[in-house]
Amino acid sequence: MKTIAKKEIRTYMTTMSGYVLIAFMLFAVGIYFTAYHLAQGYPKFSATMSSCEFMFLIIIPILTMRSLAGEERQKTDQMLLTSPLSIRDIVLGKFFGMLAVFAIAIGIVCLYPPILTLYGTVNLRAAYVAILGYFLMGAACIAIGLFISSLTSNPVIAAVITFGVIFLLYMMSGIKSISDSTAFTSYIAYFAIIVALAILIFVLMKDAMTALIAGAAGEAAITVLYFKNPTGLEGSVQTIMDALDITSRFTDFADGVLDLKNVIYYIGVAALFLVLTIFSVGKRRWN
């Protein structure tokens, strides 16, 4: 694991990509920092971090797109997968390598709040809780990007899909607020989710038959449920959207609230996608 992480960091740091990502990140944070705090004297540093949430849409796809897709494209995955390392080591190494690059940017951002203390009283604890939340959310997004990168051998496709998924998560609280909680809405939502899962099964297993059967069975089950017991579906899609709503957890951090539940949520999301990635890379062997 250490070997791969070291290699990953070295790759980002000996080529432009790592520096460009970090510079880009710092540039965005710097603009908001200047505008909110230096120019207007606003003391809550978390405002900057909240405004920089959109940065995930840009830096995560770029950071993660090549992680596994690029290896497969360049055939260097043959070297890794035939080495004595296990797939778990490779995937975790990749994850922590990318996380380290992200952490360098976050580490520099950590220097900003003390600057504010020069101008007045600043709640440093709240500021660092916001930064921690930002970092954890980044970790979860990196795991998602890593997983998507493992599904394809084309880094550009990986980047586009990662962007799409993070965009969807980013918009989730918005979608949640416009959707109602009737059974029909839930039915439509479940229908769409099952189609998406079937496509995912197809991508993972490369087996159209299994995907089709699983998809059809899921749709049949949800349709039966909808007609037999519509009240059971009411509002349930809201629960799912809550689970997917990755940004609202960050809002808690931004308010200066360090809730263990939210920390576990982000770590859980990261762990889930890392496990999926290990499964997906292992699956490639069998195709």
Partner 1 sequence: MIEVKDLTKKYGDHTAVDHLNFQIGKGRVYGFLGPNGAGKTTTMNMMTGYIAPTEGTCLIDGHDVLEEPEEARRNIGYLPEIPPVYMDMTISEYLDLAADLKKVPKAEKKQMAEEVMQKVQIADMQGRLIKHLSKGYRQRVGLAQALMGKPETIILDEPTVGLDPRQIIEIRDLIRELGKEHTVILSSHILSEVSEICDYVMILSHGKMVANDTTENLAKIMQGQNSLELTLRADADRTEAMLAGIPQISSHTIRPHGEDAVDVTLKMAGSDDLREKIFYTCAASQCPILRMDYTHVSLEDIFLEVTEDAPAAKPETDADDAAKAGDAAETAETKAAAEAEPAKAAEDTGAAENETVPAADEEGDR
Residues that bind partner 1 (CB under 8 A): 3, 6-7, 10-11, 14-15, 74-86, 285-286
Nearer to partner 1, 90 or 169 (CB): 90
The answer to whether the beta carbons of residues 109 and 94 sit under 8 Å apart is no
- Min dist. Cβ of residue 3 to partner 1 (A): 4
CB atoms within 10 A of CB 118: 7
Nearer to partner 1, 77 or 245 (CB): 77
- Farthest-apart Cα atoms in the chain, separation: 65
The answer to whether the beta carbons of residues 68 and 281 sit under 8 Å apart is yes
What CA–CA distance (Å, rounded) separates 83 from 1?
A: 12
- Min dist. Cβ of residue 67 to partner 1 (A): 13
- Min dist. Cβ of residue 79 to partner 1 (A): 4
Q: Could you identify the residue written with the tokens 């997917």? A: 244
What CA–CA distance (Å, rounded) separates 153 from 170?
A: 26
Nearer to partner 1, 75 or 261 (CB): 75
CB atoms within 10 A of CB 125: 11
- Min dist. Cβ of residue 23 to partner 1 (A): 18
Nearer to partner 1, 8 or 245 (CB): 8
Measured in degrees and rounded to the nearest 5, phi and psi for residue 131 equal -65, -40
- Min dist. Cβ of residue 18 to partner 1 (A): 11
- Min dist. Cβ of residue 287 to partner 1 (A): 8
Nearer to partner 1, 227 or 286 (CB): 286
Q: Choose among 130, 112, 108: nearest CA to 36.
A: 112
DSSP-based three-state secondary structure for 34: helix
Torsion sign (Cα): 270, 273, 275, 278 = negative
Nearer to partner 1, 78 or 248 (CB): 78
